[in-house]
Amino acid sequence: MTQSPSPRVEAVFWFLLTAAGYFLLASLSLYATKGADNIAAVWPPSGYFLALLILMPTSARIAAFAGMAAASVGANFHGGAPLWSSLAFTVSNGCEAVVALWILRHREPGELSFMVPRSVISFCIAAFTASVVSAALAWALAGKGPDFFLSWLTTVLLGMLIVTPPIVMLARMVGTNALTNASTRMKAEATAILTVTGLVSILCFSQAQFPVTFLPCIAVIAAAYRLGPFGAAAGMLIVTIIASLLTGQDYGPIAAIEGVQKTRVLFLQFYLLILLFTTLPLASLLIGRQRLAKRLEQSNRWLLQAEAAALVGHWRVDLVGWTITWSDQTYRVHGLEPGSPVDVDYSVQQYVAEDRLAVRKILLEAVRTGEPFEFQGRILRADGEIRHVKSHGSIEMARGGKAIAIFGTVQDVSETVENARILEAARSAAERVANTDMLTGLPNRRHTLASLEKALAGARDHGAPLAVAIFDIDHFKRINDTHGHAVGDEVIRRVAQRARVALRDEDMLGRIGGEEFVCILQRSSAQAAEIVAERVRKAVEAGTADTEGLPNATISVGLAVYDSEADVEELLHRADKALYVAKREGRNRLRSAA
């Protein structure tokens, strides 16, 4: 187990790393390319120091600032700047680091990533703002002219923009073992691309005969395209180092520019800025596009899996070119091999004739109104099987409000339709069982009374004629006691059959308990109701007498015609009273309620 260094050791480490690196880079920059007042064309120490501040722990930053201050004063003084100027430059460079770090911390609370366009923009804003603050402070402290402000601004800005990204990205790749895990082929490609970038830069800036400063741009763009942001940053750093060194030694096309040294330095800075803002954002956008492409590929893969699992496909009709596109699952729903040639007319013709016209009408209406649509129909698959499908979708509109395409989904709902049919059949069967008397097959008491309620409401609201006849089997207890319950049940069944046959189609017969039955005689006047009720009585009398093995059975009938009764109970009560009159008068007869 590796033991973490003590805070003191950690502070000393970052102090030395900052001081040594800052001093070497500052000395090299002042030596390589000097502008007016010993201001270098590029100031890499600013980028180096900002990169360390981003990477180091917060507790080590005080030591790092101390190391930076010592190295900056030493390098500037060693480069020929007066002590006061060296101190002023050091304070300015220290403030620029503070400002840049503060902006980055507030704009990017998490880890700064040069792979994300938003983070690259935040970094550029932080670098530019810090450079402006640093240049203004140095200009005020040093008492120089306006040109000094611009020269300082571009120098430290280039230093941060060019040096910070490759150091941060390289350190993180080392820390995450990305370099170790990279394939040999990838490492070889990166080495080759960056080597070519260096050779092209040397070729460009070591001669002034041919103005080929565009060649390094091509090399860096190629590095950005193949290696991403790190390739762009590393390539940019290589071009900067070579261009600065050779231009500082009066080699290359920039050194051949006529004029004072300041003009050549400003042109070099302008060249590097243009190259930087061409490649780094491009690399970041390319990475973003690659990530988006991977997410899109993954989303498409998940979509295909989801479509296959849910039996859902998607389709799109181009109304301009009159072409249709199917997903693989849409082909499967229609019983075709994915990729088979299909057209719009074929897609509609797949629907059975009974549904085809409705589908056309729904789609045409959706195109006309621009509203979403939904329909369900049956298709005849290529294998001859009829399947139920459900589609819904929307209309794609052009800017002028014209429909240009139809996008929709299609789902095989055959199993759902079949399950619904089975469920409905089961529900209907359960309802029949719940409403049916199991002995006779007639409506039971609950169903009979519910039907009578409905008939009574019709009579009350619309004045439709209505009559109710109640009958029961005469001396049924004697039949049960003499012949047994099995014979009694058979007598009940036979009475129910004969009574049902004697009724009209619009009439209803129900068993409401024991040997008691109710006839609902709709659209019947008093006279017609009496005729029907008497026919029932005679049918029962004749039917049971002709049945071999069963005792004779007769019924007594009580009839009540609707006369503005308030409810079913009142109407049944009148019929029941008439029934008891029939029983008292000798049974096997019909009596009507008063």
HSE-up of 208 (CA within 13 Å, CB side)? 12
**Domain-embedded: residue 15:** yes
Do 449 and 530 have their domain in common? Answer: yes
Closest CA to 592 of 569, 560, 570, 567: 560
| Distance separating alpha carbons of residues 379 and 468, to the nearest angstrom | 51
Do 392 and 452 have their domain in common? Answer: no
Question: In this predicted model, what pLDDT tens digit does every residue of 503-562 receive, in sequence order?
Answer: 988 899 999 988 999 999 988 788 999 999 999 999 998 875 566 678 889 999 999 998
Last residue of one domain, picked from the residues 309, 331, 357: 309
Do 456 and 506 have their domain in common? Answer: yes
**Can you read off the two tokens belonging to residue 482?**
């003499």
**Domain-embedded: residue 424:** no
Do 29 and 163 have their domain in common? Answer: yes
| Distance separating alpha carbons of residues 350 and 264, to the nearest angstrom | 75
Domain carrying residue 404? 311-417
Tally of structural domains, the chain: 4
**Domain-embedded: residue 174:** no
Which residue in this structure is represented by tokens 């209907």?
428
Mean pLDDT (whole number) for 110-121? 81
| Active site (catalytic) residues | 515
Last residue of one domain, picked from the residues 145, 168, 191: 168
Question: In this predicted model, what pLDDT tens digit does every residue of 295-348 receive, in sequence order?
Answer: 877 777 776 676 666 678 888 999 888 899 988 888 888 888 888 888 888 888
Task: Using a pLDDT cut of 90, give the percent of the chain over it.
Answer: 29
- What was the pLDDT predicted at 3? 58
CB–CB of 100/133 below 8 Å?
no
Is residue 391 within a helix (H) or strand (E), and if so which, with residue range? strand 386-397
**Domain-embedded: residue 32:** yes
- What was the pLDDT predicted at 546? 61
Quick one: CA dihedral 557, 558, 562, 563, positive or negative? positive
Phi first, then psi, for residue 453 (nearest 5°) are: -60, -45
CB–CB of 134/95 below 8 Å?
yes
Q: What average pLDDT is seen over the chain? A: 86
Which residue in this structure is represented by tokens 């929709």?
408
| CA terminus-to-terminus distance, the chain | 108
What one-character-per-residue DSSP string does 89-129 give? Answer: HHHHHHHHHHHHHHHHHHH-SS---TTSHHHHHHHHHHHHH
Q: What is the pTM (predicted TM-score) of this model?
A: 0.55
Neighbouring C-beta atoms of residue 260, cutoff 10 Å: 11
| Distance separating alpha carbons of residues 229 and 169, to the nearest angstrom | 9
Which residue in this structure is represented by tokens 């741009």?
217
CB–CB of 314/410 below 8 Å?
yes
